[in-house]
Structure 1
Amino acid sequence: MTTTPSPSRAGIRVASSPWGPDDQLGALNLLSPLAQAEVLARADGRHVYDLSVDYFVGMPSFQAAGDPAYQIYMSHTPAGTAVDNLNGVGEETNRHVCYSGDVVFMYTHTGTHIDALNHFGVDGKIYNGFTPDEHLGSRHWTKGGAEQIPPIITRAVLFDVAGLKGVECLPPSYAITVDDLRACLDSAGTELKQGEVALIRTGRMAYWPDKTKVLGNPPGLGLEAARWLTAQGIAAVGADQECIEVGPSEHEDNWLPGHCHFLAEAGVPMIELLNLEELSRDGHTELCLIAAPIRLRGASGAPLRPLALPLRPVSTADGGTS
């Protein structure tokens, strides 16, 4: 009789930051002005890829745990402003000046977004040992929030695992391995360096926004692959699905071990629900990534609009950029 082996234990612990007890940046400390200048100098501004998705009512979002769906409604309309006259300038002026306004209500981990370091912790602590008793107020964390994330400008490498396998999308719950990641680098003839961002393509965004295909049992990074990436000294990691890691968890002691490793153990922010389809279609592997979240103070995540520009090759003739 064949038996299924029981899941292993992840064994993840919260790390103290090598940048000191007050650090809230984690691996984003590895971003450098010199590297930013170099990657911007190589960026091909003729081609800009928007890696984000639209926000709209009915979009796929995390609701199973009780979080709200994305909502937008108008708080002011041109005709309503004339009728209400809330500004007191009178109907004639309000019909002349057509005023519209709206309100958005959503979970901060909706659509293309970045996870802040306070999003997940282990054993009652988040990255760098900050605790709820000391650093969580009535509304939000006072440490590790989305407002701490600086603009991310760095070289990014696309790990097109779906393309490597020759499939539109990896099968549900496929755990990406270290060998898969190495094979992607070998196929592209490139490398991943310290302070850069790894972008993982599973192919799931090809189905966006079909909720039945883009959420649940995601293919994604296995824990060993996640640890291999952080060992390379990445500043951040991103993927085209909802949690970057494979689901469900392969480890009995942790239902999202990848989140706990990246955020609490390695201090690496996570960018989720990236649209990487056009980059894959056009065969771009090395990119200049420019991304910045809304500065939501204390929030565990924030919407993000990442832009990717292909990189021109480094000239071997003069040692500079071409």
Structure 2
Amino acid sequence: MKAFALGAAITLAFSVTATAQAPTWTVPSESERCPSKWGAADERGSGNHQKPAAVMNAVKLIKTGEVIELAHVLGPNMALSPTRRFDVHTKRTLMNQFSNMRGSNEEIVITELGQVGTQFDGFAHQTHLNSWYNCQKVDENAERTGFKKFGIHNVGMLFTRGVLVDVAGFKGVEMLGDNYEITVDDLEGALKKQNLALQPGDAVIIHTGWGRLYGKDNPRYMKSNPGIGVPAALWLATKDPMLLGADNSPVEVSPNPDKQLSLPVHQVALVVNGIHLLENLKLDELVQKGISEFAFVMQPLKIQGGTGSTVSPVAVR
């Protein structure tokens, strides 16, 4: 009886400990998240918002024609995730022996082109186990030359209303703390301060101030960063955006405060809700000029079967 009681106590203690250590978020089951609201065969996810109405809505925001670039330069000062690379080698070609003595130069670029610099994530980029967005199976669609589904070449031009949510400004700082988790209250407070409301199909861009480190202190930039947490991501997903972006490397807070979770917002956005992510944005000029609403324009590279694309988005006002 004593042995039984001791065993029961140990089991109960283990159960309580396990419950206390349960992860703060889990990926919904396939029956809960599939099929997508866009249909069982859908591959576009939030890209379905890209229709003439989105363009016309964005065009209304253009008052001066000023174009502001939101991308960092691809070059030796880039902040890169481990194992990713971007190398440029100049290639001098021969001097053509004609009367005009025409010479030419080229370059060889060795890189992971879909996932460097200011980069746009497609749905093939992230999974839950063997399952993508809309519960498509990776091992049924993977080929050596690219993925048969969700290739970034299918995304096309994105032209929609852009909204800069200045969380750093709302908190009264130039840059949020290294591991600051942006909350729903932060987002709502910043939007209220800026007198803005999110609309379906928006490109929602979050300013953390972390981009101040890009190209200047890359080790710190890549080690950790402030960003949205799971509750904020779930809240944003209910607003039905075309994409979520930020001036940090993963959009979300990293590392996640819950040590059992690895970049869960990537799954919330890409796998569960079919919402694209846009990382490593350059937002300093937008913030300096106090621009919160603009026409957002971006075209991913046509990398057939690719998981993402380096991009050069612009804001037009």
Class of the TM-score when normalised by the shorter of the 2 chains: 0.7 to 0.9
Instruction: Name the counterpart of 2:89.
Output: 73
Alpha-carbon distance in 2 for matches of 1:34, 1:301:
25
1:208-247 to structure 2, matched below 5 A, reads: 208-210=214-216, 211-247=218-254
Alpha-carbon distance in 1 for matches of 2:280, 2:299:
15
Letter in 2 for 1:170: L
1:8 to 11, 23, 28: 23
**Residues 7 and 251, structure 1, Cα contact 8 Å, conserved in 2:** no
Instruction: Name the counterpart of 1:92.
Output: 97
Tell me the SS of whatever aligns to 1:81.
coil
Q: CA deviation at 1:58?
A: 4.2
1:281-292 to structure 2, matched below 5 A, reads: 281-292=288-299
Tell me the SS of whatever aligns to 1:59.
coil
Q: CA deviation at 1:94?
A: 9.4
**Residues 176 and 222, structure 1, Cα contact 8 Å, conserved in 2:** yes
1:168 aligns with 2:174: yes
Alpha-carbon distance in 2 for matches of 1:213, 1:164:
23
Alpha-carbon distance in 2 for matches of 1:233, 1:59:
31
1:105 to 106, 110, 130: 110
Instruction: Name the counterpart of 1:116.
Output: 122
**Residues 77 and 215, structure 2, Cα contact 8 Å, conserved in 1:** no
Deviations 1:266-318 (A, max 9, x none): 100100001111111111111110111101111111011111023xxxxxxxx
**Residues 72 and 105, structure 1, Cα contact 8 Å, conserved in 2:** yes
Instruction: Name the counterpart of 1:59.
Output: 78
Task: Give the helix-richer structure, 1 or 2.
Answer: 2
1:150 to 144, 150, 156: 156
**Residues 61 and 294, structure 2, Cα contact 8 Å, conserved in 1:** no
**Residues 57 and 161, structure 2, Cα contact 8 Å, conserved in 1:** no
Alpha-carbon distance in 2 for matches of 1:150, 1:193:
21
Deviations 1:98-157 (A, max 9, x none): 111111111221110100011101121100111122111123211112112121111111
> Which has the larger displacement, 38-47 or 185-194?
38-47
Cα RMSD (Å) of the superposition? Answer: 1.8
Query: What stretches of structure 1 of length at least 5 have no aligned partner?
Result: 83-90, 311-322
Instruction: Name the counterpart of 1:306.
Output: 313
2:147 to 113, 133, 141: 141
Deviations 1:165-193 (A, max 9, x none): 11111010100000000001100111001
Q: How many residues align?
A: 292
In 2 relative to 1, CA 208–95 (structure 1 residues): closer, same or farther, beyond 3 Å? farther
Instruction: Name the counterpart of 1:49.
Output: 68
Q: CA deviation at 1:22?
A: 2.2
In 2 relative to 1, CA 99–166 (structure 1 residues): closer, same or farther, beyond 3 Å? same
1:25-40 to structure 2, matched below 5 A, reads: 25-40=44-59
Tell me the SS of whatever aligns to 1:150.
coil
Tell me the SS of whatever aligns to 2:162.
strand
Tell me the SS of whatever aligns to 2:187.
helix
1:132 aligns with 2:148: no
**Residues 8 and 250, structure 1, Cα contact 8 Å, conserved in 2:** no
TM-score, normalization by structure 2:
0.87
Instruction: Name the counterpart of 2:14.
Output: none
Q: Report runs of 4+ in structure 1 exceeding 6 Å deviation.
A: none
Alpha-carbon distance in 2 for matches of 1:94, 1:187:
65
Instruction: Name the counterpart of 1:315.
Output: none
TM-score, normalization by structure 1:
0.86
Query: What stretches of structure 2 of length at least 5 have no aligned partner?
Result: 1-19
Instruction: Name the counterpart of 2:15.
Output: none
Alpha-carbon distance in 2 for matches of 1:45, 1:114:
27
1:183 aligns with 2:189: yes
Letter in 2 for 1:132: V
> Which has the larger displacement, 191-200 or 11-20?
11-20
